Amino acid sequence: MLRCMIVDDSRWFLDAARVLLNREGVTVVGVASNGAEALRRVEELRPDVVLLDIDLGGESGFELARRLQREDGRQTARLILISTHDEEDYAELIAASPAVGFLPKVTLSATAIRGLLERRDGVDHADRFSGPRGT
């Protein structure tokens, strides 16, 4: 079972994404709405994947991604940046970040997460999901 945490400043999005991903077989172990909370919760919950909004109101998701990367260069979880903005708008920042990739919020699903992870590391993550694979 893939364990996921979502970091976003929109309570509505956090609630909707949690319901969607849980229904699709991803266990959402926690949510955070700001950087300090995210750092604390990632350390506490140890998720496999963190979905991180690039625009957290007054905070930068890109800066938070760097802070979530440990000092020794390893991350406690794989980071996936998410946004309502187009990927092209932030392509250079996404490429320079420690994230494994980017997903537009409108395409967020267990299938999209699994596909991104598979493309990134060449491993089939289907066995990490107990629910339906989606369409």
pLDDT tens per residue, range 30-55? 999 999 999 999 999 999 999 999 99
% of the chain surpassing 90 pLDDT: 70
Which carries the bigger pLDDT value, residue 1 or residue 134?
1
Tell me the average pLDDT across 12-20: 97
Evaluate if residue 70 carries a pLDDT over 80: no
Tell me the average pLDDT across 87-96: 88
Categorize the per-residue pLDDT at 122 as very low, low, confident or very high, splitting at 50, 70 and 90.
low
The residue with tokens 């800066």 is 63
The residue with tokens 């406690």 is 76
Evaluate if residue 76 carries a pLDDT over 70: no
Distance of alpha carbon 102 from alpha carbon 81, whole angstroms? 5
The pTM of this model reads 0.85
At the topology level, CATH places domain 8-121 in Rossmann fold (3.40.50)
Distance of alpha carbon 4 from alpha carbon 77, whole angstroms? 9
Most confident of 62-71, 98-107, 114-123: 98-107
Q: Mean pLDDT for the chain?
A: 86
> Which residues, including other chains, have CB under 8 Å from residue 58's CB and lie 6 or more apart?
none
**Token digits of residue 48:** 């496999």
Helix pair angle (35-45, 61-68), 10° resolution: 30
Asked if residue 66 lies in contact with residue 93, where contact means CB atoms within 8 angstroms, the answer is no
